[in-house]
A and B are shown apart, each in its own frame.
Chain A
Amino acid sequence: MPEVKKIATREGYGKALVECGAKYPNLVVLDADLAESTKTAMFQKAYPDRFFDCGIAEGNMIGVAAGLASTGKVVFASSFAMFATGRAYEQIRNSVGYPALNVKIGASHAGITVGEDGASHQCNEDIALMRSIPGMVVINPADYIEAQEAVKAAIEHEGPVYLRFGRANVPVINDREDYKFEIGKGTVVREGKDVTIVATGIMVNSALEAAEKLAGEGIDAEVLNIHTIKPLDEELVVASAKKTGKVVTAEEHSVIGGLGSAVCDCLCEKCPTPVYKIGMQDVFGESGSAADLMVKYEIDGAGVYKQVKEFVTIQSQAD
């Protein structure tokens, strides 16, 4: 098997911003002293007149974004997920969400794959926070390719969007001719009949790895890529749940308030199905390499495999 290309989703963010800079003269990018890390520095270099570093002042950055957007600009405001959505939550809620302004929050360094910086910088709550704001679109791309398409779609979408990117290099899984991105439309990346793994972001790859291993043991897992957590592709989730009767959600995020909760919200109303949620089990992360952390918190391929297998075994005994 050829070596899988690995690139961080934040690289896709920076690349797409630069590409879109020419097409959209009203595109403006803001950062809060993390431009090199979030990759908005790529846009800064290409379009210095449309880039503003707001300094280490995330609340003001969101307000400035709102003011710019009120005049007709499409504004991306960037920081690490922790500070973009945590520090500036209320500014996003009141200055962007409530007036439904055309601001896109492009947050990098989400989840525990931030790695060595440790728990203070590993945001596992951003999806929960952003999902709770009325009208906010929440997108968590699976790879470098999807990250770029998500940025383009976010620009075309009128209104607030939260985009979640990661620090770590992750496998590129969508590099194919027929790849298409549509906000709110998930995809079946692997068909199966025994259990559904609903995955988002870098967990799509972990889910695919797990599915391969499960297949070797006679468990035929279906894998969904839910890049848009809000609005959730309920039709796809319900159809797959009906088919398999067992659902596992997988996210690099707390199991409280994220993809798992969104899927449960949907299924409990539309198709009650047993669900197991893989993710950060209501704990803070810690320092370590991204790879080691994924192993420890069981969100790598092996960890997903183990948890899905346990869940399927228990459910099968219950049947």
Chain B
Amino acid sequence: MTNLELQIMANEVRKNIVKSVHSAKAGHPGGSLSAADIFTYLYFEELNVNPENPKDPDRDRFVLSKGHCAPGLYSALALKGFFPVEDMTTLRKLGSYLQGHPDMKGVPGVDMSTGSLGQGISAATGMALAGKMDKKDYRVYTLLGDGEIEEGQVWEAAMFAGFHKLDNLTIIVDNNNLQIDGCIEDVCSPHPIDKKFEAFNFHVIHMDAHDFDSIRAAFKEARETKGMPTAIIAKSLKGKGVSFMEDQAGWHGKAPNDEQFEVAMKDLERIGETLCQK
């Protein structure tokens, strides 16, 4: 896909995030929106996955370690064709397979059940280890929040992945700088993030999470990195695309009301129109 096509798709991902969270009257729009371009790039450019054969043993794997951003993952999966986009409005509702946090048993294309922070990266590490054991060339990707990396388990996993030189593993830290209780610097700063991963024997790449040239270059570099796993620090804006949600910790885990929903959709439609005129 061209950058413009990716931008248009990412805007559709964002619309579905807002629609599904509004419909559910609950959920996590902020971090889903900050990672929307990453989800889009992964599913429409980077990952070797096939909606017709979601369990293909040779597929690339993606683990959403920051599982609360399920609306973002589900939007990308739906638009990719893993399940009907219309189902997005069943998110979090009784009887829906679209659980509040990813459930690998019920959602086509979800490679690991996540939600409890810090655990997804370990599972991704296990998948990457299996790939090495079986001499398969699939790659494993996992997305973490920058608040999530305060969990000790993240560093247990990083130690293991670095020690085992799992160069088929790419972790992405969605560095939107906000967690529930405020700025990550103010809560319990995980900085310097890059130096920490370097110390755990990762190749570290900085990326602008909303610039597809930067995203493309980062994932290419990760793929070409041998002998060590890669950590991509993705500088992002929480709530990206919805004016009143941008850079607001308060929109971490809250749904827009009807009025706010109208404003949010108008914001995104305006972005879409601008993109289509290009």
Q: Do A and B come from one complex?
A: yes
A interface, CB within 8 angstroms of B: 28, 49-50, 52, 54-55, 57, 59-60, 62-73, 90-91, 94-95, 98-100
A-B contact pairs, 26 of them (CB 8 A): A49-B133, A54-B156, A54-B160, A57-B153, A57-B160, A59-B118, A59-B156, A60-B156, A63-B119, A63-B153, A64-B122, A64-B123, A64-B125, A64-B126, A64-B160, A67-B63, A67-B123, A67-B130, A68-B129, A70-B111, A70-B112, A71-B126, A91-B122, A91-B153, A94-B115, A94-B116
Which residues of B are found within 8 Å of A59, using beta-carbon distances? 118-119, 122, 152-153, 156
In the complex with contacts A98-B113, A99-B104, A57-B156 CB distance below 8 A: yes
- Please give 20 more A-B residue pairs, beta carbons under 8 A apart, in addition to A63-B126, A67-B125: A49-B133, A50-B133, A59-B153, A63-B120, A63-B122, A63-B157, A66-B122, A67-B127, A67-B128, A68-B130, A69-B126, A70-B61, A71-B134, A72-B57, A90-B116, A91-B122, A94-B115, A95-B113, A98-B103, A98-B113
Check B113–A62 contact: CB distance below 8 A.
no
Which residues of A are found within 8 Å of B105, using beta-carbon distances? 99-100
User: CA A65 – CA B125 in complex, angstroms?
Assistant: 9
Separation in Å of the B5 CB from the closest CB of chain A? 32
Sorted nearest first, the 7 A-B pairs with minimum C-beta distance are A67-B126, A63-B122, A60-B156, A57-B156, A64-B126, A67-B123, A71-B130
CB within 8 Å: A-B pair count: 103
In residues 146-173 of chain B, which contact A (Cβ within 8 Å)? 152-153, 156-157, 159-160, 164
Which residues of A are found within 8 Å of B121, using beta-carbon distances? 63
Chain B residue at minimal CB-CB distance from A67: B126
B124, CB-defined interface residue at 8 Å: yes
Which residues of A are found within 8 Å of B164, using beta-carbon distances? 52
Check B124–A67 contact: CB distance below 8 A.
yes
Q: Pick the contact of B127 from A50, A52, A71 — CB < 8 Å? A: A71
Separation in Å of the B114 CB from the closest CB of chain A? 8
User: CA A92 – CA B41 in complex, angstroms?
Assistant: 32
Which residues of A are found within 8 Å of B125, using beta-carbon distances? 60, 63-64, 67
Which residues of B are found within 8 Å of A67, using beta-carbon distances? 63, 112, 122-130
User: CA A73 – CA B115 in complex, angstroms?
Assistant: 23
Chain A residue at minimal CB-CB distance from B154: A60
In the complex with contacts A68-B127, A70-B112, A62-B160 CB distance below 8 A: no
User: CA A23 – CA B122 in complex, angstroms?
Assistant: 28
Which residues of B are found within 8 Å of A62, using beta-carbon distances? 122
Question: By DSSP majority rule, is chain B's interface helix, strand, loop, or mixed?
Answer: helix
Interface size of B by CB at 8 A reads 34
Q: Pick the contact of B57 from A28, A63, A71 — CB < 8 Å? A: A71
Chain A residue at minimal CB-CB distance from B163: A55
User: CA A72 – CA B129 in complex, angstroms?
Assistant: 12
Separation in Å of the B43 CB from the closest CB of chain A? 19
User: CA A64 – CA B157 in complex, angstroms?
Assistant: 8
User: CA A10 – CA B75 in complex, angstroms?
Assistant: 48
Separation in Å of the B70 CB from the closest CB of chain A? 14
Which residues of A are found within 8 Å of B156, using beta-carbon distances? 54-55, 57, 59-60
Separation in Å of the B172 CB from the closest CB of chain A? 17
User: CA A67 – CA B134 in complex, angstroms?
Assistant: 14
User: CA A67 – CA B128 in complex, angstroms?
Assistant: 8
Q: Pick the contact of B130 from A49, A63, A73, A100 — CB < 8 Å? A: A73
Check A55–B159 contact: CB distance below 8 A.
yes
Which residues of A are found within 8 Å of B119, using beta-carbon distances? 59, 63, 91, 94-95
Q: Pick the contact of B122 from A60, A69, A99 — CB < 8 Å? A: A60
Which of A28, A65, A95 counts the most B-chain CB atoms under 10 A from its CB?
Answer: A95
In the complex with contacts A60-B160, A67-B127, A73-B130, A95-B122 CB distance below 8 A: yes
Chain B residue at minimal CB-CB distance from A75: B126
User: CA A199 – CA B130 in complex, angstroms?
Assistant: 40
User: CA A259 – CA B133 in complex, angstroms?
Assistant: 39
Which residues of B are found within 8 Å of A65, using beta-carbon distances? 126
Separation in Å of the A70 CB from the closest CB of chain B? 6
User: CA A133 – CA B242 in complex, angstroms?
Assistant: 40
User: CA A28 – CA B133 in complex, angstroms?
Assistant: 10
User: CA A125 – CA B160 in complex, angstroms?
Assistant: 29
In the complex with contacts A55-B159, A63-B121, A94-B113, A70-B126 CB distance below 8 A: yes
Which residues of A are found within 8 Å of B128, using beta-carbon distances? 67
Which residues of A are found within 8 Å of B113, using beta-carbon distances? 94-95, 98-99
Chain A residue at minimal CB-CB distance from B130: A71
Separation in Å of the A116 CB from the closest CB of chain B? 29
User: CA A94 – CA B131 in complex, angstroms?
Assistant: 23
In residues 73-130 of chain B, which contact A (Cβ within 8 Å)? 103-105, 111-113, 115-116, 118-130
Which residues of A are found within 8 Å of B63, using beta-carbon distances? 67
Which residues of B are found within 8 Å of A57, using beta-carbon distances? 153, 156, 159-160
Chain A residue at minimal CB-CB distance from B124: A67
Separation in Å of the B170 CB from the closest CB of chain A? 14
User: CA A69 – CA B111 in complex, angstroms?
Assistant: 11
Check B122–A68 contact: CB distance below 8 A.
no
Which residues of A are found within 8 Å of B112, using beta-carbon distances? 66-67, 70, 95, 99
Which residues of B are found within 8 Å of A100, using beta-carbon distances? 105
Which residues of A are found within 8 Å of B133, using beta-carbon distances? 28, 49-50
User: CA A301 – CA B124 in complex, angstroms?
Assistant: 48
Check B116–A64 contact: CB distance below 8 A.
no
Which residues of B are found within 8 Å of A66, using beta-carbon distances? 112, 122-123, 126
